[in-house]
């Protein structure tokens, strides 16, 4: 009997070429599939809620896999955690409805981006943040982020070379918060384009150093032109926090 299992996954993406399996480089999906093959003696395809890029981390990635097995969800959680490297952890495993699909059933996602804003770089934790040495105007950055709220065409923030047929997304939250010397950007939407969060953060950094004004974010958004936006923020500051389902 074919059964469907839903995973909640936490991972440090530092040493991986992203989520999606690749022929020659280690990936999160690839490592989990190898562990499942060891447990089951059969090839299993793991479906993620979406890709994360090389170096990006997750606290709450969701995935599912189907297989013919008598193993319990608890056995899968324990078995996978014993086989996976310590930078990938299965936080939860539950049997799901056979029709559950981690990507197609997702209704929204929440990401956080960590910026270390100090004149001197950090050593500990450097793989989990973007070091920005110049003082940032967080209030101006928040005013720029406010233009992102709502339903818009986010083509101007889509990664070059990865066009989607539909680039309209609804952003529910886009806010900055201070945590000591870290400036953290939280964003939640019904979906994201490739590099969308990182391109938004790079643009808002330009606002923070007065290269752009806050209302330039609206102008960039309306232009639909990636060339008008800021740089792509590096991957190590980005965390997938949660995937939302009904």
Answer yes or no: 53 catalytic.
Answer: yes
Question: Under 8 Å CB-to-CB from 52, ≥6 apart: which residues?
Answer: 13, 18, 19, 28, 58, 61, 238, 240
Contacts of 172 (CB under 8 A, 6+ apart): 108, 149, 188, 189, 190
Integer CA distances (angstroms), 11 to 59, 90, 149, 217, 240, in order: 7, 9, 29, 32, 10
Catalytic pick among 25, 53, 153, 179: 53
Q: Fill in the DSSP letter of residue 159.
A: P
Question: What stretches of the chain show up as alpha helix (H) in DSSP?
Answer: 28-40, 73-83, 138-146, 196-208, 216-223
Pairing of strands 150-153, 2-11: unpaired
CA distance 204 to 184: 12
Give the total residue count for the chain.
Answer: 246
Active-site residue list: 53
């Amino acid at each position: 009997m074919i059964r469907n299992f839903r995973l909640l996954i936490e991972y440090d993406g530092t040493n991986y070429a992203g989520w999606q399996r690749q022929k020659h480089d280690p990936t999160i999906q690839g490592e989990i599939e190898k562990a499942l093959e060891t447990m089951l003696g059969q090839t299993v395809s793991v479906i993620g809620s979406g890709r994360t890029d090389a170096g990006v981390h997750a606290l709450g990635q969701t995935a599912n896999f189907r297989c013919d097995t008598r193993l319990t969800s608890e056995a899968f959680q324990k078995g996978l955690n014993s086989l996976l490297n310590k930078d990938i952890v299965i936080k939860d495993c539950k049997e799901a409805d056979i029709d559950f699909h981690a990507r197609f059933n997702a209704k929204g996602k929440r990401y956080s981006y960590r910026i270390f804003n100090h004149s001197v770089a950090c050593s500990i934790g450097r793989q989990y943040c973007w070091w920005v040495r110049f003082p940032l105007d967080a209030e101006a950055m928040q005013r720029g982020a406010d233009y992102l709220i709502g339903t818009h065409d986010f083509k101007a923030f889509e990664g070059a070379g990865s066009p989607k047929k539909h680039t309209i997304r609804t952003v529910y939250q886009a806010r900055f918060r201070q945590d000591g010397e870290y400036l953290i950007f939280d964003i939640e939407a019904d979906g994201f384009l490739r590099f969308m969060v990182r391109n938004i953060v790079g643009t808002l950094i330009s606002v923070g150093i007065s290269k752009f004004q806050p209302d330039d974010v609206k102008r960039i958004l309306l232009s639909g032109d990636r060339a008008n936006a800021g740089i792509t923020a590096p991957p190590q500051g980005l965390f997938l926090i949660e995937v939302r389902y009904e």
